[in-house]
Amino acid sequence: YEGFKPLREVADDILANLQMMDGDLEKITISGGGDPSCYPEFKDLMEILGSMEVPIHIGYTSGKGFDSPDIADFMVDNGLSEISFTIFASDPALRAKYMKDPTPEASLEVFKRLCKRIDVYAAAVVLRGVNDGEVLEETCRWLDECGAKGLILMRFANRTDQGLILGNAPIIDNQPLHTVREFAEMVAGLNSRYKLKINGTPLGDPDIGSPFAIINEPDLLEKLPRVEAYATIITGSIAARPIQRILDACGNRSWVYGTNKEIACLITIDDLKEVDLSKIGTTVIIPGRAFVHEKEATEVLSADGISRTVIRGPDMLTADAETSMGMDKNGVLQMEMDGFAELIRIINMNGEKYPDII
């Protein structure tokens, strides 16, 4: 990014989008590559959006640009109804050190005031030995007292296999890390002890049982289409086992291959170069949002001289913890039903038919 867009350009974009809309405007979401709280013309923008008299959601802010608690009332008075606010910790000294917040006390007071008037969701990247343990317990207690609706905990990623795909690993040298299991257990424990909903990424949503909540719904698994063809599914290391279990419950006879990359949508061509080609079939389905060109993937996955067909699968098979924060269980299960029905359709359309079905 070269910098923030001038307010006039933003206003022109809004007007152009409104002119192309069908139906009524129900809400406005402020999002993008920058932090709204640091936008130099933020108050003017809020006044423009507030004049439209529809609810305003701020999809993300660090709050670092809020240097006066009074901005909380200003935003609500101009239509703000929901906000996702990165907190890191309720300790202003930690927030100042690790988020480089120049006015941490003011930012936390803004958060507190917003909780009294609108729906506020907190977020925190969790650094082992820094803002976990008793610090995190105190943060959760503070959030409960403020009246926050939820907290999304994000495990700190410091390695390429954890999702750092820009060649910038490690971000912090010698930083201890939580394993996926440790983090999931921590999230579940916190969620059981506090009133607000607490989710974690990469795992999970303890209330709903996602990702892949459908594993525990045999009646819904029975309603999915039956797998009738061979195809290799390539995915992330976290999702491989549950996807295998769900497909197997639908008659699958093929291998779900988990790469070293934990998160499927962060798979790159380098991950595919590490795939053991002796363990994959001639039809390969890669994640819909993987950072890979199909042509290049086909070349890499056919490097052993066996010609393979590479197909992009569905964008999503389940709801990650950030998505499920605003959903109910039925909504998540429906998302999973739709995703797996589409995946099985792709398998049956492109894979090699089972001999007893031909």
Three-state secondary structure call for residue 355: coil
What's the pLDDT score for residue 42?
Answer: 95
Q: Which two tokens stand for residue 288?
A: 């819909």
Q: What is the mean pLDDT of residues 134-155?
A: 98
Peptide bond into 6 cis (omega under 30): no
- What is the pTM assigned to this prediction? 0.92
Three-state secondary structure call for residue 46: helix
Instruction: Tell me the CATH class for 7-201.
Output: alpha beta
What's the pLDDT score for residue 358?
Answer: 64
Cβ-contact 208, 235 below 8 angstroms: no
Residue 128 scores a pLDDT above 80? yes
Task: Provide CB contacts within 8 A for 142, sequence distance 6+.
Answer: 90
What's the pLDDT score for residue 353?
Answer: 93
Residue 105 scores a pLDDT above 70? yes
Q: What is the mean pLDDT of residues 229-234?
A: 98
What residues does each domain of the chain span?
7-201, 213-353
What's the pLDDT score for residue 32?
Answer: 78
Q: What is the mean pLDDT of residues 222-233?
A: 98
Peptide bond into 204 cis (omega under 30): yes
What's the pLDDT score for residue 21?
Answer: 86
Residue 356 scores a pLDDT above 90? no
Q: What is the mean pLDDT of residues 125-148?
A: 98
Residue 1 scores a pLDDT above 60? no
What's the pLDDT score for residue 265?
Answer: 95
Residue 357 scores a pLDDT above 80? no
Indicate the average pLDDT of the chain.
96
What's the pLDDT score for residue 22?
Answer: 85
Q: What is the mean pLDDT of residues 242-263?
A: 97
Instruction: Kindly report, residue by residue over 164-222, the tens digit of the pLDDT.
Output: 999 999 999 999 999 999 999 999 999 999 999 999 999 999 999 999 999 999 999 99
Three-state secondary structure call for residue 208: coil
Comparing 13-22, 118-127, 291-300, the range with the smallest average pLDDT is 13-22
What's the pLDDT score for residue 78?
Answer: 97
Q: How far apart are CA 89 and CA 124, in angstroms?
A: 7
Q: Which two tokens stand for residue 109?
A: 């007071």
| pLDDT classification of 320: cutoffs 50, 70, 90 | very high
CA 162 to chain centre: 14
Identity (one letter) of the amino acid at 38? C
| pLDDT classification of 24: cutoffs 50, 70, 90 | confident
Instruction: Kindly report, residue by residue over 40-70, the tens digit of the pLDDT.
Output: 999 999 999 999 999 999 999 999 999 999 9
Q: How far apart are CA 210 and CA 324, in angstroms?
A: 8
Q: What is the mean pLDDT of residues 228-246?
A: 98
Return the number of other C-beta atoms located less than 10 Å from residue 93's C-beta.
Answer: 10
Cα–Cα distances in angstroms (integers) from residue 57 to residues 29, 44, 285, 314, in the given order = 5, 16, 36, 28
Q: What is the mean pLDDT of residues 284-297?
A: 97
What's the pLDDT score for residue 33?
Answer: 77
